[in-house]
Each structure stands twice: as C-alpha cells, then as structure tokens.
A and B are shown apart, each in its own frame.
Chain A
C-alpha cells in the first residue's frame, strides 16, 4: 500500500515541473516578445556570420564559385604574413605613442575642470569634446592639409618660431606620431568626459583632507585621485586598446597606411585581403587570429588592473 501511494504521489511531482515551465513560458510571452528583436537580428546578422567565418577560415574562396576546403593552410600562411604581423606591431607602437599620454592628459584636464578653481567649466568641456563628433574622413583630410610638409599650416606656424619643417606624414615615425595626434584630437574630450563622470563618484573631501594634511597637489593627484579612479581609468584604457587595433578610417584617410606600411592597422590589412584581393577565406582566418589576440590583451589588462580590487 505504501508503495502505491508513493508512486501516486510522485507522479504529479515528476510531471508538474514540465507543465509549469511550459505555463511559465506561455505566461511570459510579453517579455519574450519584447526581447526577441535583438536575438533574431543577432542570430541572422552576427551569430551566423561568426560561425560562417570559422568555416570560411578553413577554405579558399573568392566570393564566387565553389568554396574550396583547404584545412589549416590559411593559418599556416598567416604565420608568415609580414603585412599582418607588421600591422599588429604598428598597433602596439601606436598604443604606446598616444594612449598613456591621452589617458594622463584626460585625467589631468578632468581634475582641473572638476576642482572649481577655474571658471568656464562648461565652455572648456565643450571645446575639448567637440572634435569627437566629427567624422574621421573630414578630420583626417583636414589634418592632411594642416600637416602638408611644404605649405601646411603646422609647418608655417613652427617656422615662425624658427623650427624647421617637420615631415609629418613622410617619415615612418613622424607618420605614426601624426596619427596619434589625430586620435588624441578626436578622443581626448571623450576620455575626459569619462574621467569627469568617475570624479563625480568620489567624494571631494578625500582630496581636501589630503591637502590639509600637507600633501601637494600632485601628491593628492597620484596617491588619492588616481587609485580611487582605478576602475574608470581601466575602462578608458581597455576601450583605447580595442580602439587602437581597430583603427581604420583615420589611417586610411591621413596616411593611407604609409609610408612603407608604418601606419597600416590590422583592420586595414584584413580589409585589404577581403575587399581588394577577394581572399575571403584568408581574411576570415586573419580576423579570428586578430580577435584572439585582442581578447587576450583585454583579459590581461582587466586582470592587471583589477588585481588589487580582488
């Protein structure tokens, strides 16, 4: 008797979850309906491409005709591809040329504007931010004009104070620095606005207390503000890293990747293989290796940056 009751009792228990889950899903039709556009669009325009790209990376395909499976050939070719690896190295060099300077400058400007020592907070913030709304084709061409070696305004202005003409775009290192200058012009304000948001979350009394205790302004900056701003600085750094490696329009317009490919970025290299050489399989393999490297770099940054927090 006891056995049958147990079975009889357990029956609804085993069936109930499935029925209630189904009922829950039906009951939740509204939220599913509300969130569905993203997942549908993602499946078609991102997930499918991501998977198709993995498949393509093992093939040779010109975009037309049969897709030829070639196994790991693209990946072995890629390791000897100096254009691609040079572009990754360019990314690293560009990062060191402008990211530390930009981050520090953004933080200093934010602290100055936030300190209420200067008037015109709104005006300066606006002026420094405005370049960020400019499209990089217009900005790049304007900089090319300003950086013209013989007649550009930059060299004419430098000439007035006795500095000889700078080959802004003609020399390998000058071109990289010029590109860095364009990016700082475009992104300094954005980084500053981010830092300002971060500063508003830390209480002003902390810095004041440090100053009253006899710390200098620069000590208060490095030992109070910077540690408290750790998360925001890390966020800005991570985005700058990803941004540097995925630069496309800026180097394309300013230097066309030159001179001697000194400013060719990974995206330019991948774009060239895909849409100039029509090597879709090879370009896909490149894009995956690129993704893996950026992913690891970001992970390292987050680990290093978040270490003290954990």
Chain B
C-alpha cells in the first residue's frame, strides 16, 4: 500500500468512527443527564457550571417518590398491564397464525385479506367511540380497558402465520396419527418451535404497552391506578415549579427495566423489528 492510499484510508476511518461516536454520544447524552439530574439536590439542577456528578448526590428524590407517589404500586401497575396484555396477544396471535398457516377452510383468502386491511385503520378514528364503549362497560379507570381491546392484533397473526408456514406438515400429521387433537398439536408442537418468535413479538408488545401514553391518559383517572408515563407527566408542576430531580428519578425508574430486558434479549428484539419490516416491505 502506498502512503497516499494509507492516509486516505486512515482519514476515512477517522471520519467513520467520528460520525459513529458523535451519533452514539448524542443518543446517550439524555440518559446520562436523566440519571445525573435524578441524583442532584434541587438547587444544583440548573447550577453553573453544570456538574455531571454532584458532590451532594443522593437518592433523596427516589425516596420522595416512594413516600409520596407510591412508585412501587405504579411500577407494578405498569408491569401487570404490559405482562397481561402481552400474554393474551401471544396466545391469540399465535393461535390465529396457526389457523391461517396450517389449515384450508372456506373464506380463508377473504378473511386474511380483511385481516391485513384492518391494519390501515388509525387509532384516531376509533378513539372516541372506544372511549364511549369503555364508559358503558364501566371500564374507565380499570385495567380491562388497557388490556382487552388490544388482546389480538392483525400484525401479530400475520407475523406468526409466516413463522408457522415454515414448519413441516409431516411433523403435524405424525402427531395427528398419534391421536393428538389440533389444540394439543398447537400446544405441544407449534408453541415450542415458535418460541423465538414468541420472544420477539412478546418483547415488542410488552414495550408498546409499557410505554403507551395516549390511551392510558384517556382511561386512567385515579393517581394510584396510573402507569409510569402518566405518573411522570403528573409530576410536571406549574411553570418554573417542576421538581426536575424527582421527575427524572421517575423517568429512570420507567426506563431501567426495559433497558435491562433489551440488553438481555437484544437479538430477539432486533429480529422482531426486522422480520416485521422485511415482510412489510416485501
């Protein structure tokens, strides 16, 4: 290699790493500031020069949240809603995917096209009547309203149908010969094979529910029933009066569980997103 090409190579490497590091730093900065602010005493939040770590750091704002905002209850609410909604979605979507992938029945084509078409309906159009239904069912301020309407979705069924199509029919036929009924086949053969898909979609729906804001904002009224995003926003005070360290502590509590889950299951997470995109684009 000549010196010139080496220099060009070095230059472009520096540029590439420079871009990647700059973008990554921008991505991490808000998390660092969130954590740093949550540990600061109130009078140092806007102090100059800004400090990353205050000498008077403490868990005071976390303790404040435990004592005044029952933050463990809120954490449990959010977890309970996300977990139940995820469990139901996984059962109904994988069953639906199995039905479409491994059976031939009258009306199948039309039902499947209809299923795909439902994905274009924006939530905005159903928002008002859905609220009225929830009121008539007396589901306002309950978790039913956050779980049941979203217990099955078209994307999930589509996702599992693609997944189950690749399972060989012989395997299922062999089980049928042994006298297994269709539900037993689903439970004992299909579910174990699609386990990675269950993890992928499960992670996405858990995250979706955990982070959702608009619908819980419409439904939940009492502060003790809130989910984390609602509690965080309720901590916003009148202009200039917001206790930012407390609000940032609540934000850390809302982000940390998902961050841990993401780091453990990163591969499945990314697979779920990519599978959806490739199928959506293809």
By a beta-carbon cutoff of 8 Å, the part of chain A in contact with chain B is 21, 24-25, 28, 30-35, 37-39, 41-42, 44-46, 48-50, 52-53, 56, 63, 105, 108-109, 112-113, 117-118, 124-131, 133-139, 141-143, 145-146, 148, 150-151, 153, 156, 185, 188-190, 193-194, 196-198, 201, 217, 231-232, 234-236, 242, 246, 248-249, 253, 266-267, 270-271, 274-275, 280, 283-284, 287-288, 290-291, 294-295, 298
A142 to B213 alpha-carbon distance, docked (Å): 16
B95 x A185 contact (CB < 8 A): no
B103 x A38 contact (CB < 8 A): no
A53 to B194 alpha-carbon distance, docked (Å): 38
A146 x B128 contact (CB < 8 A): no
B30 x A142 contact (CB < 8 A): yes
- The residue in chain A whose Cβ has the minimal distance to the Cβ of B273 is A193
B154 x A194 contact (CB < 8 A): no
A56 to B186 alpha-carbon distance, docked (Å): 42
CB B238 to nearest CB in A, in angstroms, measures: 13
Q: Is B85 an interface residue (CB 8 A)?
A: no
B26 x A290 contact (CB < 8 A): no
B33 x A232 contact (CB < 8 A): no
A189 to B130 alpha-carbon distance, docked (Å): 33
Q: List 17 A-B contacts (CB under 8 A).
A: A34-B103, A35-B100, A41-B149, A41-B151, A50-B125, A53-B126, A53-B128, A63-B135, A109-B23, A118-B13, A133-B258, A137-B213, A137-B229, A141-B236, A146-B30, A148-B46, A287-B125
B255 x A283 contact (CB < 8 A): no
- The residue in chain A whose Cβ has the minimal distance to the Cβ of B262 is A133
List the one stretch of B53-61, B62-70, B115-123 in contact with chain A. B115-123
Residues of A with C-beta under 8 A to B34: 138, 142
A156 x B49 contact (CB < 8 A): yes
A232 to B280 alpha-carbon distance, docked (Å): 9
A294 to B251 alpha-carbon distance, docked (Å): 33
B24 x A112 contact (CB < 8 A): no
- The residue in chain A whose Cβ has the minimal distance to the Cβ of B34 is A142
A135 x B255 contact (CB < 8 A): yes
A124 x B20 contact (CB < 8 A): yes
A231 to B213 alpha-carbon distance, docked (Å): 31
A96 to B122 alpha-carbon distance, docked (Å): 22
A35 x B157 contact (CB < 8 A): yes
B127 x A38 contact (CB < 8 A): no
Task: Known contacts A34-B95, A117-B13, A135-B229; decide if A198 and B277 are in contact (CB<8 Å).
Answer: yes
A141 to B245 alpha-carbon distance, docked (Å): 11
A49 to B134 alpha-carbon distance, docked (Å): 11
A290 x B124 contact (CB < 8 A): yes
Q: Is B195 an interface residue (CB 8 A)?
A: no
* B87-112 interface (Cβ within 8 A of A): 92-93, 95-96, 98-100, 102-106, 108, 111
Task: Known contacts A117-B13, A136-B211, A235-B281; decide if A124 and B24 are in contact (CB<8 Å).
Answer: yes
A296 to B76 alpha-carbon distance, docked (Å): 42
B27 x A131 contact (CB < 8 A): yes
> Contact partner of B33 among A31, A38, A145, A298, CB < 8 A?
A145
Task: Known contacts A44-B133, A153-B33, A274-B127; decide if A37 and B273 are in contact (CB<8 Å).
Answer: no
Residues of B with C-beta under 8 A to A283: 128
Residues of A with C-beta under 8 A to B31: 130
Residues of B with C-beta under 8 A to A53: 125-126, 128-129
CB B144 to nearest CB in A, in angstroms, measures: 11
Count of A-B residue pairs with CB < 8 Å: 266
A185 x B96 contact (CB < 8 A): no
Most buried by B among A34, A128, A198, A266: A34
Residues of B with C-beta under 8 A to A31: 99-100, 102-103, 105, 108
Question: Knowing that A30-B181, A137-B251, A142-B34 are A-B contacts, what are 10 other residue pairs whose CB atoms are under 8 Å apart, sorted by A's residue number?
Answer: A28-B103, A31-B108, A109-B23, A126-B263, A127-B28, A137-B213, A141-B233, A235-B277, A242-B122, A249-B213
Q: Is B159 an interface residue (CB 8 A)?
A: no
A41 to B50 alpha-carbon distance, docked (Å): 52
- The residue in chain B whose Cβ has the minimal distance to the Cβ of A122 is B266
Residues of A with C-beta under 8 A to B244: 141, 145
B125 x A288 contact (CB < 8 A): yes
A151 x B213 contact (CB < 8 A): no
Residues of A with C-beta under 8 A to B24: 124, 127-128
Residues of A with C-beta under 8 A to B149: 41, 45
A172 to B243 alpha-carbon distance, docked (Å): 26
A291 x B96 contact (CB < 8 A): no
A271 x B152 contact (CB < 8 A): no
CB B237 to nearest CB in A, in angstroms, measures: 12
Residues of A with C-beta under 8 A to B49: 156
B152 x A38 contact (CB < 8 A): yes
B128 x A274 contact (CB < 8 A): yes
B122 x A294 contact (CB < 8 A): yes
Residues of A with C-beta under 8 A to B282: 231
- The residue in chain B whose Cβ has the minimal distance to the Cβ of A139 is B30
B48 x A156 contact (CB < 8 A): yes
A37 x B122 contact (CB < 8 A): no
Most buried by A among B23, B29, B154, B250: B23
A232 to B278 alpha-carbon distance, docked (Å): 7
Residues of B with C-beta under 8 A to A124: 20, 24
> Contact partner of A287 among B26, B100, B127, CB < 8 A?
B127
